[in-house]
């Protein structure tokens, strides 16, 4: 089986590079294990493979950061993540500014911008203040709220998978989820390498699908990155 999905040709009205996302309703984001990080605890730039339901690599994502930020700020660090297709073309840029993080202070809220292609903003993820549960607003390119993401108490769950539900703005309908998937005892204990699944409606605006990929990265850093 071909392990790489071929990028789709252009579609009118679809940002260049996002054409393939019109064909899928779920993605697997697999963080690559870094041997040096696992052995000595030296934080390296995160790298991810984005796969479809058949296990084919669709995109490849790499964090751009400096050594000082990684070692001193840990999971709080600002970052830029470049998402590339299988031809090596950058199709999505995800940017997180440096901000403090605390569930007790509403002034310390996280946010993230998603561009597709680079230079063309398609949406934002903005944390909503809540003392116990992770809550986010998904906004379009005009900063208008479109969807919500709600996570479990303090970002944890007693179940192997941790689900962050994607909801309509009225919170009546659940239309998808971002799930942190259990990767096994050794991997969970000795690395911060995680697997995530994203499910969304097939007919969801392709720009919002790209923003959901960004939301997955933010959730990973906020709740599942360990501080060395």
Give the containing element (helix H, strand E) for 109: none
From the options 2.40.160.200, 3.90.180.10, 2.60.40.10, 3.90.420.10, give the CATH code of 19-224: 2.40.160.200
Note the pLDDT tens digit of each residue in 161-220: 789 999 999 999 999 999 998 654 444 444 445 789 999 999 999 999 999 999 999 999
User: How many CB atoms lie under 10 A from the CB of residue 46?
Assistant: 23
CA dist 108 and 211 (Å) reads 21
Report the first-to-last Cα separation within the chain, whole angstroms: 39
* Most confident segment among 65-69, 99-103, 131-135: 131-135
Domain segments of the chain: what residues?
19-224
Q: pTM for the complete prediction?
A: 0.84
Instruction: Quote the pLDDT of residue 34.
Output: 63
Residue 44 burial by CB count (10 A; 0-12/13-18/19+): exposed, middle or buried?
Answer: middle
| pLDDT band at residue 221 under the 50/70/90 scheme | confident
């Amino acid at each position: 089986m071909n392990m790489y999905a071929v990028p789709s040709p252009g579609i009118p009205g679809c940002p260049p590079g996002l054409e393939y996302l019109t064909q899928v309703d779920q993605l697997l984001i697999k963080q690559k294990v870094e041997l040096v990080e696992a052995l000595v605890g030296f934080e390296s730039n995160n790298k991810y493979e984005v796969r479809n339901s058949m296990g084919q690599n669709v995109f490849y994502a790499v964090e751009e950061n400096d050594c000082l930020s990684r070692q001193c700020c840990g999971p709080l660090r600002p970052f830029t993540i470049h998402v590339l297709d299988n031809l090596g073309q950058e199709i999505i840029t995800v940017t997180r500014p440096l901000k403090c993080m605390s569930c007790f202070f509403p002034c310390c809220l996280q946010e993230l911008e998603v561009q597709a292609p680079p230079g063309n903003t398609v949406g934002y993820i903005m944390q909503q203040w809540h003392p116990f549960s992770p809550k986010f607003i998904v906004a379009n390119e005009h900063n208008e709220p479109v969807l919500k993401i709600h996570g479990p108490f303090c970002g944890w769950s007693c179940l192997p998978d941790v689900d962050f539900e994607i909801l309509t703005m009225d919170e009546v309908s659940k239309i998808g989820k971002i799930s942190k998937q259990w990767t096994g005892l050794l991997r969970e204990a000795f690395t911060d390498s995680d697997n995530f699944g994203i499910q969304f409606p097939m007919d969801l605006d392709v720009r919002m699908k790209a923003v959901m990929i960004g939301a997955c990265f933010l959730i990973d850093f906020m709740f599942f990155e360990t501080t060395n």
